Amino acid sequence: MEGLHFSSSSSGQCCLIAITTVGPVGVDVEKVVPRTHLDRIAETRFASDETAAIMSLEGEARLRAFYNCWTRKEAYLKATGTGLTAPLDRVVVSVDDERPAIVALDGGDPAKWSVASLEPRPGYVAAVVWRDRTG
């Protein structure tokens, strides 16, 4: 089918599949588990604004913000076909639960992209990112 776009992701006991004719789409799901080097990963892989927002939080809120950031970035990179070969700090995303968004792109317009956050089951964080054909 011409114009059919899809993406898939799995983690632990969860799998997500996105299929659309709207335009490029990416999806990522991650099981939320404590990470030993969460701070170092954020500092070396994420944009400074994202890292600052994550580090300003404590405990479970920090862990969730980290996974929000990771899944939104990975979903965007899947939608563009780039994948994790691109530097993660070139895509700046929100990290909170209330306003999922792409904030800035290196060489692109974030307004052309939409982001939705999902909790497909307890203990999991997911994101879907898509670009409308008009974008």
Domain assignments of the chain as residue spans, ordered by start: 5-131
The residue-averaged pLDDT of 20-49 equals 93
Instruction: Tell me which DSSP letter residue 5 carries.
Output: E
pLDDT of residue 87 exceeding 90: no
48-55 and 59-80 helices, crossing angle to 10°: 150
Residue identified by tokens 């993406």 is 7
pLDDT of residue 83 exceeding 50: yes
Query: Which value, in Å, is the radius of gyration of the alpha carbons in the chain?
Result: 14
pLDDT in tens, 97-106: 889 999 999 8
The per-residue pLDDT for 20 is 94
The residue-averaged pLDDT of 92-98 equals 94
Give the model's confidence band at 1: pLDDT under 50 very low, under 70 low, under 90 confident, else very high. Answer: very low
> What order of strands is seen across the sheet that includes strand 113-118?
25-31, 124-131, 113-118
Please state which CATH class domain 5-131 belongs to.
Answer: alpha beta
Closest to 57 in 3D by CA, of 66, 49, 48: 66
The per-residue pLDDT for 85 is 75
State pTM to two decimals. 0.92
Asked if residue 43 lies in contact with residue 86, where contact means CB atoms within 8 angstroms, the answer is no
